[in-house]
Amino acid sequence: MGQDADARRWLRGFGRRRAGKRTLICFPHAGGAASFFRPWRDLLAPDVDVLAVQYPGHEDRLAEPLVESMNDLVNAIVKAILPICREPVALFGHSMGAIAAYEVAMQLEARGLPVRALLVSAHPAPHRQRLSSPPQSDDGYAYEIARLSGDALQVPDREVFRDLFLPALRNDYQLVCSYRHRRREKLQSPIVALLSDDDTEANSDEMRAWREMTAGAFDLERFTGGHFYLVGQVERVARIMDRCFDLPSTPFIQS
């Protein structure tokens, strides 16, 4: 499979690609899909193109085999986005997507392809990963989705959830729960961490610890709300995305 085919398989755009040569690549949460980021395209600056990663088993990749580890997922994504990295690229990941985006950024820098900025949301820094187990039943997964999303996301009815949504969600949880950070060189790209004050999945100390992952700039942006705070505050999130392409390369810290 060629590089263009890999990109088509793994990345989703929302309309014709723009000519601005600045690209934001978004990584969904566990159980999430590329369409989650569809509204962002019209909120970002006209010269910023939005692409979203589509994990196997999600939406139009429903029938494809699921990946077995975070490492396998990251390797496939890196292969798919390499052709895009000739232009300025920033990465954004929410929840599980934050870890995937971080690992992709590490691989890109190791290949000499700098990332303009890494934006991470609602997940502890890699070395502060919580050691947890996935839910033990279908009802447990349904409860988790309802608990974390509140009114932010629409939970499918029981039959749709079990047949179409649950297999990918279960696999995503396994990827996150089995992930372990390996001590390595720090990123050179700036990191912006997005923290919500009522998020039970990532507290202030865990989000601030992302500063230890970079030798570059670090910023911590605070929001109100729960784990899916960004759904109701997407315009402010988009403003942060726009600014990320102009972050300084020298270290600074805000909190």
Catalytic center residues: 95
Q: Rounded to a whole number, what is the distance in angstroms from the first to the last CA of the chain?
A: 45
CA gap 184, 166 in Å, rounded: 34
CB atoms within 10 A of CB 189: 25
CA gap 79, 1 in Å, rounded: 11
Q: How much helix, strand and coil, in percent to the nearest 5, is found in the chain?
A: 45, 15, 40
- Kind plus residue range of the DSSP H or E element containing 105: helix 96-110
Q: Which residue has the tokens 């990251």?
A: 74
Q: Which residue has the tokens 């088509």?
A: 8
